[in-house]
Structure 1
């Protein structure tokens, strides 16, 4: 039986349909991952499932207790200890009610025994016996062990607040868990703790995440909110979200196969339309071909059979016209065009050293005795937070002057530097104007180039960058970097705020371009598949 189900969920904002007709069922023990492009509605769907927002149409049914963690969760006022006590309040209340009922059991009232049994079943289902121990494990496992229990929650950093909210959710152990990007602000050890906890959770889990390794470790199925092709037994074609069984790696294989089927169906549909239209044109030319002007000596038999032939051809034309109408009424849309990053990447100039760094020292941030970036460099930079990874890339890009040492660039070198964070200087400029900044001519001259990259929708080109989402701003920064046709790539956390499909395509494009790259990333999926050199900062 499903602990969580949704039927025909639809919602729109300002006339824009976010999604229409979502259906899902999640049973106890199932862990469903939500994936899809930025803005496709993953967070919106979680809010609807959590009853934090009402759908335009459709219903949601929930069984048992519910826990919802948004990307910007609220914390109860007071100290960290107060917040933990509040998370344990459900179990304290259950314990108190069971103690009161135990005192009435001597009366032999059947209703008392039934109520006690229901309370005990919920207590055991949510593992109330180990709730206090679970609270201690969650605080330690999510890297909050050094935070004083008496510290007020208002004084915590953004990362600490996010981790504490997640810890409180895990302490409550609700029957249905809805998590929006729960691995944000977590280091590797904390992510592993979260994975282990969810694998042991007996209830239903729905999680939206851009962390591919996390999805691969946790999910039993994946719901892709991007359009996929669906065909009913009668041949009707529809587009909508698709659910795939298995973990993230299984989803990748299944989606590739589904896309291949979509491409085949689109080719088949085009061929059938072409054939039907050709039959109409050919038949139309044949009709009346035998209706020559009769002469006095024409025989009855040839004329009679000519009329029969015309009638048969006319039927074929009508059948072909009907088939064209049927096909055009139920078209197979063209599959989405893959992004073409490779067309925007330049060539490496020469075989020598492109960037040379010697005795670089940014006080309090990073110190590098020697580092060379050549045409064949593929370097992954790792290290804990604060070890200077971002500062190193900024120094190599020439955006940060070292306090000591020197950094040399090859003549004419174009560096593609993607910082981890950055604010556009004028939030009132349109996305297209920002993309064209520093280039000759009006912004409209570069509209086709921006469209070809496939990173922003056409409707977003004229949106002020200050009104774009974080993911859209990240895409715009990536587009600007690619437009420079760089010779070398310096990428600082390029996976942040990008959709999973875009991540896969970006990685393939960077690998296929054979450009030198220095990469900083916390993404375990990328790190596990990295086949180049590694450098660790301390």
Structure 2
């Protein structure tokens, strides 16, 4: 039995359609992951399911209790941590109090309340009310909040602590339907492991939007991709819209690739059939005649008779061909959207020798180390806790951060592709196209086709002031700038942040197959597990790099 049912859900803002005819069902034990490009409507769908917003059309049917976690922590105004936890447990306290009253009435011989009591007990047991207090303690500990005094006011918490507390409270409530928007934000590896275990043990429905591929692979039983995909209805009508894939993220990648191939094949087949049908209306249908048939003597009616038959045949075949064209137009298979391909852009000629050499580097309070070289064959993953100096290390190597002590030397004419973690643009008022073209000869309009060819931004955003772009769009623009420089060494600081999963996969593939040396900083567990190069670990206390060889799967 479905606990969650969505039927023909549609939503638009200011005339722009965000969601159109969304349908899904989920029953107990199902954990559905939402993926898709930035702005495709993942958060909107979650808000509609949670009832925070109302659809323009369609319906949402829920069976049981619902818990919703937005990206922005929704905590009570005022109060302490302990009071917030008590509020999360209030539902169980109410259930317990109601059952006690019914028990008193049953003890007095009132049997009319047996059904009501059974319903309350079933809900209490389904949501594991017996261990609600222990669950609260586990959630606070598992999400790294156990060391914070429960008497702390909520206003004392940092942004990350508030996000983790909001997640803990959602888990404490153990609702039948758990709706989570980017629940892995602000979590370290231990907290992520706790969250994944808790969600796998959840008996109800989980619907989660996430950019964390490792999380999606560890938790989800199915993936709903809101990006357009071709599916064919039973009557043969092609529909382009969201698609659901059974299994975890690994299964989704395989299914998505297979669906793309089917879409390309279907478009090619439709295109071929349409070309033949159109040609038939122009030529084939009119290739009917009897001009080679010999005329008999005194056969005066023959030209007129056969002329009528030819005209009728031509008309019939033209009509059939035109009808075929109309049928094909009704079942048009659009061309699949262009896939981003970065490998040729990054495939620059390899340079040998030492390209970047850093010695006796000291940036007080941020990073210090004795020596580090980046050569033509360097493939280096930099790890370490927050505050260990990973971003500072890349900034020093890029020449963007001047050390107080030591020196950094770059090979002559070296083009460095540095992607900082936060790419602030100096003038938020200039257009995205002007930012892309900055430093290149000629007016920005000359580079419109170049930016379009990268596929990182839609053409309608080229003239948008960069300050009005979303964080994800700004990230794409920074990546476009990096590619324009045709770099010979890559220094990438959290390159997967704010990018869609499809773009992340393409970027990783491009970096993986290129011959460029790369130094990478990332918290992305999926990327770290697949890394096959060296690993440099920075300790927050010592700040002295130690290098080891990575093994796949670690």
* TM-score, normalized by the shorter chain, greater than 0.5: yes
Distance 1:462 1:146 in 2: 49
| Residues 44-55 of structure 1: pairs in structure 2 closer than 5 A | 44-55=44-55
Distance 2:234 2:62 in 1: 31
| 1:56 pairs with 2:56 | yes
Report what 1:38 is aligned to: 38
Instruction: Show CA shifts across 1:95-128 (max 9, x none).
Output: 1221222221123223322222111111111111
Report what 1:118 is aligned to: 119
For the Cα contact (< 8 Å) 1:349–1:413, is it kept in 2?
no
Distance 2:182 2:535 in 1: 28
Distance 2:135 2:234 in 1: 49
| 1:419 pairs with 2:411 | no
| 1:361 pairs with 2:362 | yes
The alpha-carbon distance between structure 1 residues 339 and 103, as it changes in their structure 2 partners (threshold 3 A), is same
- The TM-score normalised by the length of structure 1 is 0.96
Structure 1: unaligned runs, 5 residues or longer:
none
RMSD: 2.0
Secondary structure of 1:401's partner? coil
Secondary structure of 2:180's partner? strand
Report what 2:489 is aligned to: 488
Report what 2:270 is aligned to: 269
Report what 1:86 is aligned to: 87
Report what 2:462 is aligned to: 461
For the Cα contact (< 8 Å) 2:350–2:515, is it kept in 1?
no
Report what 2:23 is aligned to: 23
For the Cα contact (< 8 Å) 2:33–2:220, is it kept in 1?
yes
- Give the number of aligned pairs: 538
Moved more, 487-496 or 321-330: 321-330
Report what 2:228 is aligned to: 227
Report what 2:73 is aligned to: 73
Deviation (angstroms), 1:191: 0.5
For the Cα contact (< 8 Å) 1:79–1:153, is it kept in 2?
yes
Deviation (angstroms), 1:6: 0.9
Report what 1:350 is aligned to: 351
Distance 1:303 1:533 in 2: 87
For the Cα contact (< 8 Å) 2:423–2:474, is it kept in 1?
no
Deviation (angstroms), 1:342: 2.7
Distance 1:145 1:369 in 2: 38
Secondary structure of 1:17's partner? strand
Instruction: Show CA shifts across 1:345-383 (max 9, x none).
Output: 362463111111112122221222221111111111111
Distance 2:297 2:503 in 1: 76
Instruction: Show CA shifts across 1:159-179 (max 9, x none).
Output: 111111101111111111000
| Residues 327-476 of structure 1: pairs in structure 2 closer than 5 A | 327-345=328-346, 347-348=348-349, 350-476=351-477
Report what 1:511 is aligned to: 512
Instruction: Show CA shifts across 1:116-164 (max 9, x none).
Output: 2111111111111111111111111111122121111112111111111
For the Cα contact (< 8 Å) 2:2–2:27, is it kept in 1?
yes
Distance 1:424 1:289 in 2: 75
Distance 2:159 2:466 in 1: 24
Distance 2:315 2:246 in 1: 50
Structure 2: unaligned runs, 5 residues or longer:
540-554
Distance 1:454 1:118 in 2: 55
For the Cα contact (< 8 Å) 1:141–1:193, is it kept in 2?
yes
Distance 1:368 1:3 in 2: 56
Moved more, 348-357 or 208-217: 348-357
- The TM-score normalised by the length of structure 2 is 0.93
Distance 1:479 1:180 in 2: 28
Distance 2:150 2:510 in 1: 48
Deviation (angstroms), 1:288: 6.2
Deviation (angstroms), 1:285: 4.8
Deviation (angstroms), 1:287: 5.0
Deviation (angstroms), 1:281: 2.4
Report what 2:149 is aligned to: 148
Deviation (angstroms), 1:442: 2.1
Deviation (angstroms), 1:421: 1.3
The alpha-carbon distance between structure 1 residues 470 and 311, as it changes in their structure 2 partners (threshold 3 A), is same
For the Cα contact (< 8 Å) 2:489–2:516, is it kept in 1?
yes
Distance 1:22 1:497 in 2: 24
For the Cα contact (< 8 Å) 1:67–1:177, is it kept in 2?
yes
| Residues 274-353 of structure 1: pairs in structure 2 closer than 5 A | 274-283=275-284, 285-286=286-287, 290=291, 297=298, 300=301, 304-305=305-306, 307-345=308-346, 347-348=348-349, 350-353=351-354
Deviation (angstroms), 1:429: 1.9
For the Cα contact (< 8 Å) 1:34–1:207, is it kept in 2?
yes
Distance 2:55 2:507 in 1: 34
Distance 2:468 2:303 in 1: 77
Distance 1:429 1:328 in 2: 43
Distance 2:380 2:83 in 1: 46
Distance 2:379 2:516 in 1: 8
Report what 2:128 is aligned to: 127
Distance 2:433 2:344 in 1: 19
Instruction: Show CA shifts across 1:262-311 (max 9, x none).
Output: 0110110111111112222223553567399x998556557645653453
Report what 1:162 is aligned to: 163
Report what 2:98 is aligned to: 97
For the Cα contact (< 8 Å) 1:382–1:389, is it kept in 2?
yes
Instruction: Show CA shifts across 1:309-346 (max 9, x none).
Output: 45334422321222122212321100111112234336
